[in-house]
Amino acid sequence: MSSDEEEFDDFNVANNVEKSIEEDDEFGEFDEVDKDIQFPDVIFKDNQALNNKINDLISEIIPIESTIPKEYNDKELLNDRSKTIYQQVSTIPYLQPTNWIKSNIRHNLLIKLGIPINLDELNDSKDVQFHVRRKSINESDINWDIFEIPDEKDLKLDFDAKNKLLSNTIDRLSKIEIEILNNTSEGYLKTCDPGQLDSKLKELKDIYDELILLSSLWKNKINELHDDFEIYETVVQSFIGYSQKLKRDEIFENLKKLKHEKKKKKKKLWK
């Protein structure tokens, strides 16, 4: 073997030794890990503790560094003026409260509760067109004074009887309307015999007495609804007034803070 070949073989041997050393350096750290990781038996019964333990081990193996430079953590992003502007923009503005009397929410609520209302309250007074309605939906359209309506307490009806009459009022009025129209034409009354005429007169008197009875019940019911309405209206107005008071206090506190901050700025400028 020539001297050149011997030198080349020595070079290859040296090169292989260097590669083996580098491989040992790269993978030797994994071979040297002989730490025995043990978990106590109690930790397997607590999922939260087990997850925390696993996260701690993963953090030791693969440490996660914050991507935010440390120098930014101690710095404030907004100066005093920017803070003030941000607070003014982010503060909820004071809104003018809605007119509860003319709101659609109140209108729909009173309808759900069955409380008689004046539908013209939703419109401005100048837009209201007064006209006589054939069928009324308002208690004020009924003239109770032209009838002798007894007090509901004088009827001596029990609770169930009153509720039954009130719940069946619509059906009963429909039947009464038919009964009144039946055999009441002028031609029939002129040609019928006195017995039929007396029978029809008695029927109309019975209908009148029944309508007076229903009127007494419904008049008392309307009074109860008015009382409930006043209580409800008082509660709502109290809530609205209290919310407005809280908002005024909040605005007053914000104004005091702004005034205090302005004084501080003036002192700094004079210094």
Which residue ranges of the chain lie beneath pLDDT 70?
1-39, 63-78, 92-98, 114, 116-138, 266-271
Length in residues, the chain = 271
Note the pLDDT tens digit of each residue in 125-180: 554 444 444 455 567 777 778 888 888 888 888 889 989 999 998 888 888 888 88
Handedness of CA 45, 48, 54, 60 (dihedral sign): negative
Distance (Å, whole) CA 67 – CA 226: 68
The CA distance from 10 to 14, in Å, is: 6
The per-residue pLDDT for 202 is 92
For residue 271, the model assigns a pLDDT of 57
SS3 labels along 88-153: HHHCCCCCCCCCCCCCHHHHHHHHHHCCCCCHHHHCCHHHCCCCCCCCCCCHHHCCHHHCCCCCHH
Structure tokens at 181: 């129209």
Q: How far apart are CA 15 and CA 20, in angstroms?
A: 9
Tokens 């580098």 belong to residue: 22
The end-to-end CA distance of the chain, in Å, is 94
- Alpha carbon separation from 63 to 3, 56, 76, 214 (Å, rounded): 53, 10, 27, 85
**Which amino acid type is present at position 55?**
N
Tell whether pTM > 0.85: no
Q: What pLDDT is recorded for position 67?
A: 59
User: Residue 130: its pLDDT value, please?
Assistant: 45
Q: What angle do CA 169, 160, 112 make, to 5 degrees?
A: 55
**Under 8 Å between Cβ of 204 and 212:** no
Reported as a single tens digit per residue, the pLDDT across 175-197 is 888 888 777 777 778 888 888 88
- The whole-number pLDDT of residue 259 equals 80
Quick one: pLDDT at residue 103? 76
Distance of CA 232 to the CA centre of its chain: 19
